[in-house]
Structures are given as structure tokens and as C-alpha cells.
Chains A and B, each alone.
Chain A
Amino acid sequence: MDALDASVPAISPRRPISASVATFRALVGSGFRRYATYRQATLAGTFTNIVFGFLRCYVLLAVAAGAAGGAPGGYDARQLATFVWVGQGLLNVVGIWGWADLADRIRTGDIVADLVRPISPVTAYLAADLGRACHALLTRVGPPVLVGALFFPLATPSRWQTVPLFAVSVLLAVIGSFACRYLINATAYWLNDARGPLAFWTLGSGVLAGLYFPLRLLPEWATVTLWVATPLPGLLQTPLDVLIERDPPALQAGLVALQAVWAVVMLALARWVQRRAERRLVVQGG
């Protein structure tokens, strides 16, 4: 921690890149440490992930048993089980739910403290969120996958490119999810209270990211529309499809590229919205 003092260097193109990297890394570390302190909550959350893993896995396997050809949406039983169990772990890494920090800070006026810092709030919160995701990756993925592997036959990747592609896809999912959540939270700049949009997000993101059922079970026109027109499948469905090798390699690379496009678009949108908001923000004094 001795690297941090009052003169934290700004992340700016005019500064040496090493200084920007050091600041970014310090912020990632702080995000990691913040979540590392909630040890009991991590344990409780893991238990719930495992219960839902069993529920979803049994239902989807029963669907596979009843489907013509035994492969609903083009997934066999092993792929479905892997989809569910890795999905229960990945859900926490991507963190689609339960982030209202920014909205709360806007409502209370604490956001002022973020604005006077020499780093754009989007960059600072992204760094902290990457730290959170690292913590979730280390603690929340292993247990459900292990339990899943103990009780069900899981699919293992057979192509060498799957693992690096999966890693890239997870990183893009975290960035895309962060940008979406930032935008939802940022509605508080205009509405003062983001509870409505947050509820709407919780509802839409779970089902349209592929948490409730693999999106390929929908009619094809709906699947294609979702993939191309929204960032949501990129939050969960794409990394999981990559891992279980649902598609040929070229199509998988294409899906990850689409995910990257959406992550960049959403992040740029978040920065733009933040700049617009700063121009009109009136912090209520007190």
C-alpha cells in the first residue's frame, strides 16, 4: 500500500503509461479487497448457487430426455449440465445483479468525491469492478463447478482454442456487464432514484442473458435479434457457448468479436453519458 499516497497519478494520455497502469492496478486491488472482506456472504451465495444449479440442471436434463433427438437447442445432456453449473459460477463473475453503488452515490451527492478525483469515474469504477470480478473468479466459480462435476457428467473442451477464447469472452462479458450497469445506474443523474430502471435491468438481464434457459431454445429469429441488437447474450450466453463448444470454431470467434463490439459500444456510451451528466449535475447541498 506504500505505493499509494495523496499524489496518485492521473490516468491520462499525457502521463507515462506506467503511472496509469499503477493507478489502475491499485484500483483493481481495492475492488478485490473490498469483496474479500465479505467472507460469510460469499459462502451463503455459493450455497444458493448450488441449489439453483441442481434445480436448473434437473429441469434441463428432463427437457433433453423428452426432446426429439435428445438435443434441445443443439445441446446434448453433457453440454446442458456444463452450461448450468459453469453458468451458476460465472453469474457472480459477470455480476449482472446487485450493483447500485453509483446510483446511491448520485442520490446522496457523494458522487462529488468521485468527480474531483483525477480519474474519470467510468475508468475508476471499471477498475474496481474488475477487482470484484477477479475475487468472484477465484472464490465463486470453483464450488458450483465441482459440485456439478460430482453429480453430473460435464463436457470438457476438446479444441485447444476454446480455453483462451473462453478467457477473452469472460473478460468481455465482465466489461460489457459493467458498462450496462453503469448506464442503468447513471439514470439516477436524471431521475434521482434509479430503483425503477434497476428493477427493470434485473428482470431483463437474467432472462435475456441466458440464465433461466439457454437462448437457443427460443425461435431462431428471436435468438439472432437478441445477439445482434442487444449486448445481453454477450453477458453470459456467449462465454458459456464458447466453453461447451456449441458452434464451429469460426462462428465462435465471430460471436466473441460481436461481444467485443458490444462491450466497446456500451463502454463508449457510458463515457458519453457520464460527460453529459457532469454538465447538468446539480449536487444538493447539505
Chain B
Amino acid sequence: MGEWRAYAALFGGRLRSATAYRTSFAVELVTNAAGTLIDVVTVFVLYRAAASVGGFTLDEALMMTGITAFAFVLADLTVGNIDQLETYVRTGRLDAVLVRPLAVLPQLMLADLPLRKLMRLAVGISVLGLALGRNDIDWTPARALLLVSAPVSGAVFFGAIFVLSAATAFWWVDSGKLGHGFTYGGRDFTSYPITVYGSWFRTAFAYALGFGFVSYQPALTLLGRPDPLGLPSWAGYLSPLVALAAVSVAAVVWRSGVRHYRSTGS
């Protein structure tokens, strides 16, 4: 119980500090929401030039964009700020985190919880709602379950990618933007039908790294469309397993990273 109280205190501190400068916080809330909106507007702009991209119409592609937007926002809100780890390692501030009798990852997550990204959640849900409204879905209990499990699994998957990217800082302090290629890059990758990508690039991102199961396969199953790339329709239900695998890898890498950490001594 004491542990939970400590976490609640960390979260409370974060909440008070974020709302101390109300105007600045309000500006950040709105700006962040607009950021998520721009990714969606980009999809609309591209479809203005072409009726079909990679063999999918705008409405079908929005299904993928919607699942990704919701999943990514959820992960970014909860785990996203772990990319500050680089600063903690470089300055040696991680020492203070390590000496407390609490787990390292939840501490870092709660201490840096980016509440300014809260409004993004509303945008993410709206995009998914828009996609559902524009597609004629043949609802079954399995599909209704998929509608919940796909964004949640996607969020867990993106969370694992965030942790993996941040953990590179344990070995390579100046890794800087390296991880963005997989976190924000992964978001961009899963916002479009994966049929648009060249074959080796698609194989690497979609199947080897697992990004194809975040939104593409679940969206196909929801829409009742066969996969032009040949995977069966039950592949849409695999996202929880893929997320679980990613979390396992992230957990192993994170633990060995924390063990590998050497303080700056300052």
C-alpha cells in the first residue's frame, strides 16, 4: 500500500507543477491536440490528390489512421516522456531515482507524465470514431472485441517501443533522435495501408518488428477485407500477442540497461 501512496504522491506533484502556469499549460494542451490533428489532415491532403492509395480508399485508410492515432496517443501520454531518460543518464540524475525503494520505470513515467498531451486523447478517439462512422462495418461480437483490443494492444506495443528506444541511452548516451525513427516513424508507418511500402521495407517494419499488427491487420478484419498481401483474416486478432512479445523484449532490455548504468559521479 505504501508503494501506491508514493506513486500517487509523485503523480500529485506532477499535476500541481503542470497546472502552476495555467496559461502556458492551456496553450500546450491546445498545441498538442493540434499536433495529432495534423497527422490526420495529412492523410486527407494526400487522398485529395489520389482516390486510391496502395489499393485503399480514404475511408478504409482512416480505419488504420484511427486505430494508430488512438493507440499512439495512449502510449505517448503514459510512456512517451521516457525519452527524457537520455538527460537522466547524461547528468547522472538517475542516481536519485535508483536509490528510492520504488521501481525505476514507473517512477520515471509518473515524474514526467506529460499531462499537456491529455487533449490528444480526445483527438485520437474522434479520429477512430470518424473512421467507424465512414465505414459500413458488419458487427459481430468478435469485431466489437477487436475494436477495443486493437487500440489497447497498439498502445502497449508503442509503449514497449518507447521504452526500447529510450533504453538505448544506457549504452549510447548521445543516441538522441535514433529512437524517433521507430516511435514517431512507427506511428507514420502504421497510419497508412502497408501495401504502399516497398517489399523489404515492409517486411522489416510490418512483420519483423511487428508494426503491421498494430493497425493494418485489425483494420482489415474490422472491414471484412481480405489481405492483398496474403495473411488470413484471423491475423487481425494477433495484436495482443505481438504486443506481449514486444513488452517481454522491452522488459529484458530495460533491466539489463539499468544494470549496465554507470553514474557520471557528479
Contact = CB atoms under 8 A, between A and B. Distances in A.
Interface string B27-39: 1100110110010
Contacts of B51: 66
B46 A217 contact: yes
Contacts of A151: 198
A268 interface: no
Nearest to B21: A193
B42 A58 contact: no
A203 B30 CA distance: 11
A203 B185 contact: no
Contact of B181 (A48, A60, A195): A48
B87 to A, nearest CB: 13
Given A52-B188, A62-B54, A196-B31, A72 B178 contact: no
A66 B50 contact: yes
Interface string B140-181: 000000000000000000000000000000001111111011
Main secondary structure of the interface of B (DSSP, over half): helix
Contact of B50 (A38, A52, A67): A67
Interface string A61-97: 1111111100011000000000000000000000000
**Which residue of B41, B45, B51 has the most chain A CB atoms within 10 A of its CB atom?**
B45
Given A203-B34, A217-B49, A41 B185 contact: no
Contacts, number: 106
A21 interface: no
B241 to A, nearest CB: 25
B109 interface: no
A257 interface: no
Q: How large is the interface on A (under 10, 10 to 19, 20 to 34, 35 or more residues)?
A: 35 or more
Contacts of A200: 27, 31
A73 B49 contact: yes
Contacts of A213: 42, 45-46
Interface string A202-229: 0100010000110001100000000000
Contact of A62 (B27, B177, B181, B196): B196
Contacts of A41: 174, 176-177
Interface in A255-272: none
Nearest to A218: B45
B180 A55 contact: no
A45 B24 contact: no
Contacts of A63: 46, 49-50, 53
Contacts of B28: 195-196, 199
B224 to A, nearest CB: 22
B201 interface: yes
**Which residue of A41, A54, A66, A207 has the most chain B CB atoms within 10 A of its CB atom?**
A66
A17 interface: no
Contacts of B185: 48, 51-52, 55
Contacts of B198: 54, 58, 151
B256 interface: no
Contacts of A207: 38, 41-42
A115 B34 CA distance: 36
Interface in A18-65: 38, 40-41, 44-45, 47-48, 50-52, 54-56, 58-65
Interface in B102-146: none
A213 B185 CA distance: 15
B49 A44 contact: no
A59 B46 contact: yes
23 contacts: A40-B173, A41-B177, A44-B176, A45-B177, A48-B185, A51-B182, A56-B188, A58-B197, A58-B201, A59-B53, A59-B196, A62-B192, A63-B46, A66-B52, A191-B24, A193-B21, A196-B24, A200-B31, A203-B34, A207-B38, A213-B42, A213-B46, A217-B45
Interface of B: 21, 23-24, 27-28, 31-32, 34-35, 38, 41-42, 45-46, 48-54, 172-178, 180-182, 185, 188-189, 192, 195-198, 201
Given A56-B188, A63-B46, A66-B51, 4 more contacts: A47-B178, A47-B181, A51-B185, A199-B27
Interface of A: 38, 40-41, 44-45, 47-48, 50-52, 54-56, 58-68, 72-73, 151, 191, 193, 195-196, 199-200, 203, 207, 212-213, 217-218
4 A-B pairs closest in CB distance: A66-B50, A72-B49, A51-B181, A62-B196
